[in-house]
Amino acid sequence: MQFNPLILEGSEKAYAKWRDTKLRAYDNDLQDAPVELDAENLSDQQLSQLLTRSRQFNYAIYRLDDPDAGDKSFVRMLGKKIGLQRLDGNLCSDEDNISSIQVMQTGRHTGYIPYSDRQLTWHTDGYYNDEARTIRAMVLHCVRPAAEGGENLMLDHEMAYIQLREAEPRFIEAFAELDVLTIPPNIENGIEIRGAQSGPVFSLDSVSQRLHMRFSARTRNIEWKQDALTQEALACMREQLDGNNPYVITCRMQSGEGIIANNVLHNRTAFTDADDSQKKRLLYRARYYDRVKSEENE
């Protein structure tokens, strides 16, 4: 990005050029085409395809030649190859900081929708984190899909930015306000385990100088600024997510398939698990403080 996406005045030309390049990338319809990977030995060409897709769409879907090769060490290795080093740990991740996303009936996980079979509304990861723990990228690897449902929909947050700016440039300003979106504290058994988190929807990532987005479409336990412009911007955003948006892709990952992404907007549909406990949906999720690198030699 050759311009500051949060400064609108004077950036029209640079913005238009960047926007047109972004839009053109969709002409080849490669955004939801998986990159085929040799799990044991990723080739330079395979790696380069992943990086190109990430640069264009902020995500890439991949498919392993051997569906059983996708264990946690593969996820960690893949992350490193694309510049993802600093793993985020959270309350529910396993000891190695990679989370096993599956339906959990007991323990700490039970209060959290990711560990249920319910739908997950649109969001970017870590929208409740403080700045020091900003999630910039993730790897989501499917070990086993659900018997039915459990699709992931994704929208490149830079496309969301473009659609908002095209609708009304002032929406970008509203979403860049530092107090536009507040997540109330997380209280477990009467104890506050995370304080309230206020911040912008759109910000400029100080490391990469690229756009970062913090968003959740949930309607409970979330406080949006009440002014008219914010509310209009939010309505416009919801329309993009729930309407017939040509830039939203739907991905129902099969065993051995996965997604790498620069924390784009995503959701998950509800699903039904198989009765057999060995065949229930299982995804590995690694979240990082780094972004996917933009060049092979970086």
For Fe ion, the binding residues (CB under 5 A) are 125
Q: Which is nearer to Fe ion, 125 or 273 (CB)?
A: 125
Q: Which is nearer to Fe ion, 52 or 186 (CB)?
A: 186
Q: Which is nearer to Fe ion, 11 or 90 (CB)?
A: 90
Instruction: Work out how close the CB of 114 gets to Fe ion at its nearest, in angstroms, rounded to a whole number.
Output: 7
Please identify the residue of the shown chain whose CB is closest to the bound Fe ion: 125
Query: Cα-atom radius of gyration of the chain, to the nearest Å?
Result: 19
Instruction: Work out how close the CB of 123 gets to Fe ion at its nearest, in angstroms, rounded to a whole number.
Output: 6
Instruction: Work out how close the CB of 215 gets to Fe ion at its nearest, in angstroms, rounded to a whole number.
Output: 11
Q: Which is nearer to Fe ion, 122 or 202 (CB)?
A: 122
Instruction: Work out how close the CB of 124 gets to Fe ion at its nearest, in angstroms, rounded to a whole number.
Output: 7
Q: Which is nearer to Fe ion, 125 or 290 (CB)?
A: 125
Instruction: Work out how close the CB of 286 gets to Fe ion at its nearest, in angstroms, rounded to a whole number.
Output: 12
